[in-house]
Structure 1
């Protein structure tokens, strides 16, 4: 797999990406852990642990965004 942002190559197993349920579009737009951003805002977070990852496409969303939307 290649990161869409930095272009670095990863073995699909080593990346931890859910390859069994990712379609061609999700695979082509995959980001490595160094390049992950909130998919809704496009913003990088200071803490990678504040991102939630989809189990089917490996895209992420900021937990802060979800928590603020509940208020």
Structure 2
């Protein structure tokens, strides 16, 4: 998994106006680290000509899959 420095995590939260306390901060940082690793892996494929578009960090990088789906219109099971 991609390492996230304290400075990088702080910069992300500042840039996207995020604020977490205690355990939630740790959880969100871990999610962010997974997102960062996924983005880096995808962008290596871009650099090798395997895909045609690049990914980047955005305001959604610290959301769980459920939160992301909810914000992006995924249907919830009934």
TM-score, normalisation: structure 1: 0.36
> Which structure shows the higher helix fraction?
2
Higher Cα radius of gyration? 2
> Which structure shows the higher strand fraction?
1
